[in-house]
Chains A and B, each alone.
Chain A
Amino acid sequence: MNKPLPDAEDLLARLTERMRASVTPDTALIGIHTGGVWLAQRLHKALGLRQPLGTIDVSFYRDDYGSRGLHPKVKPSNIPFEVADADIVLVDDVLHTGRTIRAAMNELFDYGRPQSIRLAALIDRGGRQLPIAAQFVGAEVSVADGDQIELRKNEKDQLSLALNRQGAA
Chain B
Amino acid sequence: MMGYNPQLNANGELQHLLTIEGLPREIVLHILDTALSFLSVGEREIKKVPLLRGKSIFNLFFEASTRTRTTFEIAAKRLSADVINLNVGTSSQSKGETLLDTVANLSAMHADMFVVRHSQSGAAHLIARHVAPYIHVINAGDGRHAHPTQGLLDMFTIRHYKKEFAALRVAIVGDVLHSRVARSQIHALTTLGVPEVRVIGPRTLLPSNVSELGVHVYHDMATGLKDVDVVIMLRLQSERMNGALLPSAQEFFKYYGLTPEKLANAKPDAIVMHPGPMNRGIEIESSVADGRQSVILPQVTFGIAVRMAVMSILAGNA
Contact = CB atoms under 8 A, between A and B. Distances in A.
B39 interface: yes
A76 B40 contact: yes
Contact of B30 (A60, A72, A79): A72
Interface stretch (B44-52, B114-122, B138-146, B267-275): B44-52
B295 interface: no
A74 B313 CA distance: 11
| B41, B46, B316 interface centre (most CB from chain A within 10 Å) | B316
B312 to A, nearest CB: 5
Contacts of B312: 60, 70
Contacts of B48: 110
A60 B33 CA distance: 14
Interface in B113-164: none
Interface size class of A (residues with CB under 8 A): 20 to 34
A100 interface: no
Contact of B317 (A59, A69, A74, A111): A69
Given A65-B51, A65-B316, A74 B34 contact: yes
Contact of A111 (B30, B46, B50): B46
B301 interface: no
A124 interface: no
Interface string A48-74: 000000000101110001001110111
Nearest to B44: A111
A74 B36 CA distance: 9
A75 B39 CA distance: 11
Nearest to A57: B37
Contacts of A107: 49
A160 interface: no
A106 B312 CA distance: 18
Given A61-B49, A73-B33, 11 more contacts: A60-B312, A68-B316, A69-B13, A69-B318, A74-B37, A76-B36, A76-B37, A77-B37, A106-B50, A110-B44, A110-B49
9 contacts: A60-B49, A60-B50, A60-B51, A60-B312, A70-B51, A76-B36, A77-B41, A107-B49, A112-B45
Closest 3 CB pairs of A and B: A69-B316, A60-B49, A70-B316
